[in-house]
Structures are given as C-alpha cells and as structure tokens.
Amino acid sequence: MTADSGTQGSRIRALFENTEDDVSIIAPFIKIDALRSLLKVIPSETHLRCVTRWLPEEVAIGVSDPEILDLLEERGNFILTLVDRLHAKLYIAGDRCLVGSSNVTLAGLGEGGDSNNIEILVDTTIDAPGVAETLEEISNTERPATRAIAQITRRLADSLSASALSTATIEISWFPISRRPQDAYLFYTQPPSGYTKAADRILLDDLVKANLQPGLEEGEFRSEIRSLLQTIPIAESFLNTTEDTTLTFADTHSYFKEIAGDQFSANELWLAFVEWMAHFFNDQVMRQEITEIALRRAQILIQ
C-alpha cells in the first residue's frame, strides 16, 4: 500500500526523513506495521527514543504490540521505555515536534484503508508551552521496557482474551474473586501459562482484569491494588470511617446479592472481599472470626 502524501503518517515521515538529529516517537498505542513504516525513513545512525505504554487490556484488543521490542532490537540504536499514564502523542526530530492525536497505528497514521481516524498533528517545537512540561513529566516517570515485561504483557493479554470467567454482572470497575491475594504479586510477575488449575485461573483472571501496567515493583503493585479496592463502594465507606467498627456479611448482604452472578454467590464474593481487604489494607483492617467472619476497622492499627 502506498501512503497518501497528505496523511499524518506522511507528515511524520517527512519530519524524520534524512534527519541528523535524534528522533523520538511517543504514543500510547504502537503497532508493529505502523512503526515499521516510520522506521523505514529514519537513518540507521540516528538514535531513536520510543515511549509507549503496555496495558494487558489494550494489547488483548489489538491496539498495541509488545512485540515492537523485536522490531527495535533488529534496528538497534534505540531506547524503549514505558509510561503508565501516557496519553500524549509526540513525534520529535531535534527541536522540531509534531503534537496531536495520532497513535502509531495504521488508522492513526491515516493509512488504514477504510478504518482511518480523524486525527490532528500540530507543528511546533519541544520548547513550546505545554510540550516541554509534558516531556519533563515523561522523563520523570518512564522506565525501561524489558524483554521480561514484553513477555508478561503478552501472556496477560492472551489470558484476558481467552478468559472463560465473566464478571459482567458486576457494575463496578473491578472486583477480585480469588481468595488468594497473598499470591497476587507472584502471579502478576510470573503469570502461569498452559494448563492452570481452577483456583489459579480465578486469581489470574482477577489480575488481568485489573489491567495493571506490567513491571511494577511490589510496593507500586500494592499501591495500585489498594487504589482499585477503594473503588468498591463498601470498601471506600469502610476505610473512611473514623471510628473502630466491624463489618459483617449481614451488613453487606444486599450489596453482594445485587452484584453476584451465576458463577459466584454473594457469600463467595464477600469472602474474597475480606481476604483482599485484610491482605492489602493490613495497616487499617483485620480479618477476624468469632461467630462469623468479619472485617474490623481499628484505628489502633494505623497509630
């Protein structure tokens, strides 16, 4: 396919072609075919900086490819980094910069046949207001995209695509179902492949649906899971109380009954909720069992 001279892709290639300056490609979505079309015009001696993000859910639906690492390694003379919250799209050669909405996908470049997007790229410089600040924030938050992270991202994405479990009846953004939160970080860093037991499958399903950027350190992972748990309404209200209190299944039965599906009962969701809260908020809550399992929110735990 010959690219139209008026496409966003042609504008980016015109910026990169025959440049003697370093080049940067910064976009959350980067597909192999689209990236290859840009690399063709960048001189091999030109150093390339590529910044993107790899979220399992996005890789699973096909808008981003961790395998761009293979393509860049074939080229050489590059650095590839990840920024979890990246949304900006910038294409830089020396001091010149194109800023706008175009991702490095064939549709984003305007070269995807019938699936072209309506995009914009504005010609500016790296010192322009807003651009310099964005580049600084990216530099402060980026981390190397390693082979291990690429492989884990693909494995999590494939697990999400093949998942036989469903929480479609749950209207909140994320809710863990496994009762093994103590194994969550291990499964996040070393997701099982091939045949998996049912209990492993449930935990893996929880993790891929959390859609966390692979490569987080354990403390970062813990912080992200805590943030996700706090999006659960009963968790938020429980954690925000200023008094010692106890939460039981009877207190939450109507809530769990409402979100329960065919595969998991209200009681099973409650038990999973208890385990995740007690594990990831062990500085604020504790699991206790007297006549029934409960969560205790005690101020003394955080003093």
Residue 161 has pLDDT above 70, yes or no: no
Do 167 and 177 contact (CB within 8 A), yes or no? yes
Q: E strands within the chain?
A: 23-26, 48-52, 78-82, 89-93, 96-100, 121-125, 143-144, 245-248, 285-289, 293-297
Regarding the domain delimited by 8-148, which CATH topology (the fold level of the hierarchy) does it fall under?
Answer: Endonuclease; Chain A (3.30.870)
H-run or E-run covering 35: helix 32-39
Average pLDDT over residues 138-142: 95
Give the global pTM: 0.76
Residue 31 has pLDDT above 50, yes or no: yes
| pLDDT of 168 | 38
Q: Determine the Cα–Cα distance for residues 202 and 197; give it in Å rounded to an integer.
A: 9
Q: Determine the Cα–Cα distance for residues 122 and 143; give it in Å rounded to an integer.
A: 27
171 confidence band (pLDDT: 50, 70, 90): very low
Lowest-confidence range among 4-8, 16-20, 22-26? 4-8
Residue 169 has pLDDT above 90, yes or no: no
**CA 9 to centroid of chain Cα atoms:** 26
Average pLDDT over residues 150-156: 90
Helices (H) and strands (E) in the chain, counts: 12, 10
Residue 166 has pLDDT above 60, yes or no: no
Q: Determine the Cα–Cα distance for residues 46 and 35; give it in Å rounded to an integer.
A: 15
| Segments making up each domain of the chain, as ranges | 8-148, 163-302
Q: Determine the Cα–Cα distance for residues 212 and 260; give it in Å rounded to an integer.
A: 24
User: Over the stretch 194-241, which tens digit does the pLDDT of each residue have?
Assistant: 777 889 989 998 998 898 988 899 999 999 999 999 999 899 888 888
Do 262 and 244 contact (CB within 8 A), yes or no? no
